[in-house]
A and B are shown apart, each in its own frame.
Chain A
Amino acid sequence: MDFFKLGFYVGFAVVCIFFLIFVAISKSGEKAYQYDERQQLVQGKGFQYAFFSLLIYNAICILLITGFDNLIISNEDLIFFGIILGVFIYAAYCVWHDGYFSLNEKPKRVILSLAFCAVINFFAGMLNLSQQGFIQNGVLTNHFISFSCAIMLLLLLLVIAIRYHRKKSEVE
């Protein structure tokens, strides 16, 4: 197993552990995240759009994989792009319809954590680019995954910023 794969699995395990801790904290006591009925409805619709987008994306991937012998994107990338697409559609829809931030949540903290994750992924992507490059033998490899995560997070931050400015201009 090379260092990239080892780093990938360790990183994956760390993210899973942090996620479980986050879920445990968020479900307990005053820290519990509360969404009102409209926000829950928005989240349900967001899940729906993300789910169907992922279905369509997977169908396209199957067609591409079976139809073409020499794809310029690795299978790992194709799978991961699907996850990124689903997450982005869900999050962007919820942000756009004000269902992303809970009633007792400080958006600033979430935005800072998203920006932090984007920066980490960006530098990890740059490190991969400088050490191994994104393309090997004419194929986009899994070294591009961190960079694509950074792009997705930056796009999400952009959606949040646009939404914030639109809200500011709303007349009560």
Chain B
Amino acid sequence: MKNLRLKSARAALDMSQQDLADMVGVSRQTISAVEKGDYNPTIKLCIDICKVLGKTLDELFWED
């Protein structure tokens, strides 16, 4: 399932996938895979992404 919340949170901060990838220490393709729902990130990467985007885990990764 696509993670549109992550994509919109990133876009809201005017960040490219590469910018976010550099800040959390992964490749651009990994961020792309997470957004597309092709890859389930570990909790460590989720937390790193949340910290960079200023969001909580619930806001970005919790599925209702």
| Pair from one complex | yes
B27 CB–A CB distance under 8 Å: yes
A37 CB–B CB distance under 8 Å: yes
Cβ A38 vs Cβ B27 within 8 A: yes
B residues contacting the other copy or chain, number (CB 8 A): 14
* A39: nearest chain-B partner, CB-CB: B27
Partner of A36 from the list B16, B27, B32 (CB cut-off 8 Å) is B27
- A98 and B45 CA atoms in complex are apart in Å by 18
Cβ A38 vs Cβ B16 within 8 A: no
Give residues of chain A (149-172) contacting chain B, Cβ–Cβ below 8 Å: 167, 170, 172
Sorting the interface of chain A by its residue count into under 10, 10 to 19, 20 to 34 or 35 or more gives 10 to 19
* B18: nearest chain-A partner, CB-CB: A172
A23 CB–B CB distance under 8 Å: no
- A165 and B39 CA atoms in complex are apart in Å by 22
- A36 and B25 CA atoms in complex are apart in Å by 7
Cβ A37 vs Cβ B41 within 8 A: yes
Known: A38-B39, A172-B16. A103 touches B27 (CB 8 A): yes
Contact residues in B for A172 (Cβ distance below 8 Å): 16-17, 32
* A167: nearest chain-B partner, CB-CB: B29
Cβ A39 vs Cβ B30 within 8 A: yes
Partner of A170 from the list B16, B32, B41, B44 (CB cut-off 8 Å) is B32
Nearest CB on A from B11, distance (A): 10
